[in-house]
Amino acid sequence: MKTLRVELGDRGYPIFIGQGLMGQAELVKSYVKGRQVLIVTNTVVAPLYLSACEAAFAEFDVKSVILPDGEVYKTLETLNLIFDELIGQRFDRSCTLIALGGGVTGDMTGFAAACFQRGVKFIQMPTTLLSQVDSSVGGKTGVNHPLGKNMIGAFHQPECVVIDTETLNTLEDRQLSAGLAEVIKYGLIQDIEFFEWLEKNIERLMNRDPEALSYAIERSCQDKAEIVAKDEKEAGLRALFNLGHTFGHAIESGMGYGNWLHGEGVSAGTMQAMYLSKLLGHLSEGDVTRVQSLFERVNLPVKPPTVAEMNNQAFLDLMAGDKKVQAGTIRLVLLKSIGQAYVTGDYPGHFLEKTLTEWR
Ligand code: NAD
Ligand code: GLY
């Protein structure tokens, strides 16, 4: 087992990464504060892992709530199912919530923990690649609104993150690819060495080679933990993690939540950011092709949808609702070079229009 740490003073916490960690009571019991434990999971993950997870918390008063599956259910309405259970079963403020599942479950459970009785503890047990490399670390929690992705939420750090890499064995190929979009993101924003490693090892990851997957998860979590420690609430640096996300979130919500997976939106959105970075003179044609080829080797989309609902104006309207917008300016994460990202609102508006028109 490998242990990393998110250094956030008294809110700091460990990330445990290894095979078969799910059922290990010794690993988690010191992170449970009171007696009451609520495992939050969904209809797909429960039959696979709920009993192993319950076993790890068997010495506590453990209950579970099983939510409907999918991004379309990442809503305030579904969140209420967690509160119904907590309030109905008389959980008190010393309770601990366990997020067992992918990023949707993790974001919702974390948000429920941030809100219930003004804040209780929670543990992340991510079971998708995307949640293991990204969403379970850093304390961003929340739900979608019909008008914008992740628009309602809170920063709330977990007590620990338990990444059982064996859970990836049951993940669908399309979901594995979606997770790889966020892995590639770390290489692009600040880690050229990792990007080059990915170029050499991407087929091993696609074939679920356990050693390669563990390495990619560790390196991604390390990269994420370092930036979160410097900028927990996204005053600046942390916004780099949003490479491709302003375009990608527009695709996700514009196409209807769940039709394009988050990682698929990030992949196409990152390529739009690459194209704009090229228009600005930062990247060469060769750089753009190099990044495109890596996404293509993972079977990820590299162009946004061409449907009428996603015309330039619709894209711009959706992007104008992004959380990085300041004083009406759409701020974007762009690249100076592969491995060096920056955030800016200072680009000619017609370059954005040209990107939306030409990178299709
Ligand atoms: P997800 O949670 O919907 O999981 C994808 C699918 O895989 C679901 O059907 C799920 O039930 C299923 N699944 C989960 N674990 C499984 C397993 N081990 N075996 C088989 N099936 C399994 O999606 P995701 O890609 O994990 O997460 C995407 C969400 O994460 C988005 O809502 C996105 O906004 C959010 N996100 C949050 C952050 C953050 O910092 N909080 C960062 C990135 C993404
Ligand atoms: N996934 C974006 C962040 O955690 O900041």
Per-residue model confidence as pLDDT tens digits over 247-264: 999 999 999 999 999 999
CATH class of 2-170: alpha beta
Helix, strand, coil % in the chain, rounded to nearest 5: 50, 20, 30
Atom of ligand 1 nearest to the CA of 105: 2
Average pLDDT value for residue range 162-168: 98
290 is catalytic: no
Average pLDDT value for residue range 109-133: 98
The confidence score (pLDDT) of residue 33 equals 87
CATH code reported for the domain at 173-358: 1.20.1090.10
285 is catalytic: no
Three-state DSSP state, 61: strand
Q: Could you say which of 262, 264, 278, 331 is catalytic?
A: 262
Q: b vs e for 213-237, b when ≥16 Cβ sit within 10 Å of the residue's Cβ?
A: bbbbbbbbbbbbbebbeeebebeee
The confidence score (pLDDT) of residue 178 equals 98
Whether residue 121 has its Cβ less than 6 Å from ligand 2 = no
Residues paired with residue 39 on neighbouring β-strands, in sequence order = 64, 98
pLDDT classification of 148: cutoffs 50, 70, 90 = confident
Residue-wise pLDDT for 201-260, tens only, equals 999 999 999 999 999 999 999 999 999 999 999 999 999 999 999 999 999 999 999 999
* Rg of the chain taking only CA atoms, in angstroms: 20
DSSP 9: G
The confidence score (pLDDT) of residue 321 equals 86
Q: Residue 138: left if φ>0, alpha if ψ -120 to 50, beta else—which one?
A: left
The confidence score (pLDDT) of residue 239 equals 96
Residue ranges per structural domain of the chain: 2-170, 173-358
Q: Among the residues of the chain, which ranges form H helices?
A: 25-28, 51-56, 76-88, 103-115, 129-130, 173-190, 192-206, 210-230, 245-254, 262-279, 285-297, 312-319, 349-358
Q: Could you say which of 54, 71, 85, 234 is catalytic?
A: 234
pLDDT of 88 strictly over 90: yes
340 burial type by CB count under 10 A (0-12 exposed, 13-18 middle, 19+ buried): middle
Residue-wise pLDDT for 22-74, tens only, equals 989 999 999 998 999 999 999 999 999 999 999 999 999 999 999 999 999 99
The confidence score (pLDDT) of residue 99 equals 98
282 is catalytic: no
234 is catalytic: yes
